[in-house]
Structure 1
Amino acid sequence: MYNQQKMRPNIVIVATEVESVRLIFKRHPDIAVEFRAKNQHLRKACMDFLLSLIETMCQSLEELSNEDLVEADVALTYLRDAGFKVDWLEKKLDHVKVKKEKEQFCVARLQEMEDSLLELWKKCSDLDALVEKEEEELSDTRTPLSLDDVV
């Protein structure tokens, strides 16, 4: 069990989550000041929800989908409505959204560049083949006639 002065007592926290919860309450001691759920199961569900939201936000941008970010917004609204002070989390989520947009822009731009590069490689390959053919023709043209050819 984890007991925090500004949080209602007796929220059951799984041992693996204790450090995460400790860190959250250390950095944001007023997070649950207005949290009023009395039912133990609902209290735990809200804490699980908070921890899951944070875990989601800690995923790599490659793993995070736009749908995940929409659901994260819904989760944030739910936590705020439940009485959690999560302005700090909203700012972090906004930051993650901006990074996701930038990632998507970069991925699209990178794909465009790779497509252009592929096109250039093809042109270079085609031009290289033409150069080779022209060199063969030039070589054939420059070959002196032999006595046999002349007579």
Structure 2
Amino acid sequence: MFNLNKFYFKSTYLNVLLELIETLCQLPEKLSDDDLGEASAAVLYLTQVGFKLDWLEKKLEEVKETKKRVKNGKAELQRMEEELQNLTKKCSDLKYLLKKQNVALSFSDVV
């Protein structure tokens, strides 16, 4: 006998699992904290209904860590780019001063 309810739930569980996998396949920087929270909730939900998802939970944690490293790396890169701009301006100013001061004296300047 075909149990429609059982089929519906299996289909729903598999759809949740596929959406979860699709979420984890996105670039970590494109995933919001809400996306990752929903992914954690989905893993918990599927685990509670009997799926063995240790492997997927591990991947989710890896994605969270990667997202954190990307975010921190971007912040550090921006800080370094701003520092580079400041140093470039200082170099330019110093070159201008050196050029202005590096002038040979004329005879009338000495006498």
Give the alignment's TM-score, normalised by structure 1. Answer: 0.63
Structure 1 residue 86 displacement after superposition: 0.9
**C-alpha distance in 2, partners of 1:143/1:47?**
88
**Paired position in structure 2 for 1:144:** 107
**C-alpha distance in 2, partners of 1:121/1:94?**
40
**C-alpha distance in 2, partners of 1:66/1:114?**
26
Partner AA of 1:143 in structure 2: S
Structure 1 residue 108 displacement after superposition: 1.2
**C-alpha distance in 2, partners of 1:128/1:70?**
53
Structure 1 residue 56 displacement after superposition: 0.6
SS of the residue 1:59 aligns to: coil
> Number of residues paired by the alignment?
107
Partner AA of 1:144 in structure 2: F
Deviations 1:23-72 (A, max 9, x none): xxxxxxxxxxxxxx71x333222111100100110111222222221111
Matched, 1:69 2:32: no
Question: Which 4+ residue blocks in structure 1 deviate beyond 4 angstroms?
Answer: none
SS of the residue 2:31 aligns to: coil
Q: Would you say the 8 A contact 2:20–2:42 is kept in 1?
A: yes
Instruction: Give the structure, 1 or 2, with the largest relative contact order (CA under 8 Å, sep 6 or more).
Output: 2
**Paired position in structure 1 for 2:74:** 107
**C-alpha distance in 2, partners of 1:71/1:123?**
48
SS of the residue 1:98 aligns to: helix
Deviations 1:80-107 (A, max 9, x none): 1222111111011111111111111111
Instruction: Compare CA radii of gyration and give the structure with the larger one.
Output: 1
Q: Would you say the 8 A contact 2:43–2:53 is kept in 1?
A: yes
Structure 1 residue 114 displacement after superposition: 1.0
**C-alpha distance in 1, partners of 2:43/2:96?**
60
Q: Would you say the 8 A contact 2:13–2:46 is kept in 1?
A: yes
Matched, 1:42 2:5: no
Deviations 1:95-150 (A, max 9, x none): 11111111111111111111111110111111112122223xx23xx1234xxxx9
Structure 1: segments with no counterpart, 5+ residues:
1-8, 11-36
Q: State the percentage of identical aligned residues.
A: 46
The answer to which structure has the higher helix fraction is 2
